[in-house]
């Protein structure tokens, strides 16, 4: 993997993954793909090539693949779960028609493709604790429907055409660099900002709501490592459960209070995001990812909290 196109390079994952890929593959080109209105800025813009790359414009993507001799596409274009409930048809267009464009280009031009899935690909009938790698997936959100379809379509292109498609089911991702937008797990990022700014956090997710979560450095490590895995060891492809920690709002609140004792939080539950969160599992079993390509997280809640607060104090204060 040396010439890479990151579609959605200015989003929560893409903004950090693009920089990581540029560090990991200095001899190649990592192209930052963006859509109008979310152009790369600063170090993301200055550290490598960037191109307008709308996943729904197949010719535009194909031209970039030809121009830079792309061998790997990271397809991060998506509306997150709460936004996708507000704009279901737009979410389907981006996540499914867009994906079909990417897979067809990859088939014709022999590119590998990474398209993330999510805990959102599970639903109320999925086993909640130690969710198996292979299990029932009947999501009740449009986001979840597109994620299950993404997994199935990506596997289809692997089995039918030999396209090298790979994927992980991301938990909620937490980072201090780029705020997420429109996700059900966004609260786990917002809470750190409120704590560092000395504000009372108004939590949209009810107490007792467990969700899998992960610190962004571990998510980036997974996105790079899975594409480096030896294909002969992969029994699965789209998509691997990966896990790091599972917590409720009160658990993360207590972890932050250990570092910021006077931090306050109260609840104003958002029914849309609560309904989605209630349909997701509490904790995934990631033994297949560990066995097939050596996945292992580095951060737990305590070490993530210390690191988040340290960096947000530098960023905000």
Residues catalogued as catalytic: 143
14 lies in the site for ligand VAH, by CB under 6 A:
no
Rounded CA-CA distance 91/84 in Å is 5
- The token duo for 249 is 């709002």
Structure tokens at 54: 């709308």
Residues 6 or more apart whose Cβ sits within 8 Å of residue 15: 9, 44, 177, 178
Shortest spacing between CB 44 and ligand VAH, in angstroms: 20
In the bound complex, what is the minimum distance in angstroms from residue 80's beta carbon to ligand VAH? 4
Between 50 and 187, whose beta carbon lies closer to ligand VAH? 187
Distance CA 192, CA 151 (A): 32
- Site mask, ligand VAH, residues 128-157, x = CB under 6 A? ---------------x--------------
d(CA 101, CA 205): 36
Q: How far out from the chain centre does Cα 82 lie?
A: 14
Which residues 180-199 are close enough to bind ligand VAH by CB under 6 A?
180, 183-185
Quote the least distance from Cβ 13 to ligand VAH, whole Å.
9
Q: Where are the beta strands (DSSP E) in the chain?
A: 4-7, 30-34, 50-52, 72-75, 112-114, 117-118, 129-131, 165-166, 168-170, 172-174, 201-203, 211-215, 240-241, 245-247, 265-267, 283-284
Nearer to ligand VAH, 31 or 203 (CB): 203
Distance CA 99, CA 143 (A): 14
Per CB under 6 A, which of residues 102..131 are in contact with ligand VAH?
118-120
Q: 112 or 168, CB closer to ligand VAH?
A: 168
Using Cβ positions, the residue closest to ligand VAH within the complex turns out to be: 183
Site string for ligand VAH, 52-91 (x = CB under 6 A): ----------------------------xx----------
Rounded to a whole number of angstroms, the minimum distance from the CB of residue 297 to ligand VAH is 15
The residues of the shown chain that bind ligand VAH, judged by CB under 6 A, are 80-81, 118-120, 143, 170-173, 180, 183-185
């Amino acid at each position: 993997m040396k010439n890479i196109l990151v579609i959605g390079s200015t989003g929560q994952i893409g903004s950090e993954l693009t920089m990581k890929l540029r560090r990991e593959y200095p001899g190649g080109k990592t192209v930052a793909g963006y859509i109008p209105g979310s152009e790369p800025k600063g170090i993301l813009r200055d550290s490598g090539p960037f191109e307008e790359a709308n996943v729904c414009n197949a010719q535009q993507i194909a031209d970039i693949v030809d121009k830079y001799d792309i061998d790997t596409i990271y397809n991060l274009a998506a509306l997150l779960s709460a936004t996708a409930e507000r704009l279901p048809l737009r979410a389907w267009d981006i996540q499914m028609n867009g994906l079909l464009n990417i897979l067809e280009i990859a088939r014709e031009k022999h590119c590998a493709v990474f398209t993330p899935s999510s805990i959102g690909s599970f639903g109320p009938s999925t086993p909640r604790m130690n969710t198996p790698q292979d299990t029932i997936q009947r999501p009740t959100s449009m986001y979840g429907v597109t994620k299950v379809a993404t997994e199935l379509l990506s596997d289809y292109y692997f089995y039918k055409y030999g396209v090298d498609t790979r994927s992980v089911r991301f938990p909620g991702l937490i980072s201090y660099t780029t705020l997420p937008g429109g996700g059900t797990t966004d609260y786990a990022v917002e809470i750190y900002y409120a704590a560092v700014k000395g504000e009372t956090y108004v939590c949209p997710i009810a107490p007792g709501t467990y969700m899998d979560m992960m610190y962004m450095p571990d998510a980036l490590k997974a996105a790079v490592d899975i594409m480096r895995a030896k294909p002969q060891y992969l029994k699965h492809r789209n998509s691997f459960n990966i896990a790091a920690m599972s917590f409720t709002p009160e658990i993360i609140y207590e972890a932050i209070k250990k570092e910021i004792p006077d931090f306050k939080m109260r609840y104003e539950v958002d029914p849309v995001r609560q309904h989605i969160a209630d349909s997701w599992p509490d904790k995934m079993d990631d033994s297949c990812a560990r066995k097939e390509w050596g996945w292992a997280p580095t951060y737990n809640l305590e070490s993530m909290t210390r690191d988040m607060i340290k960096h947000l104090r530098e960023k905000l204060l």
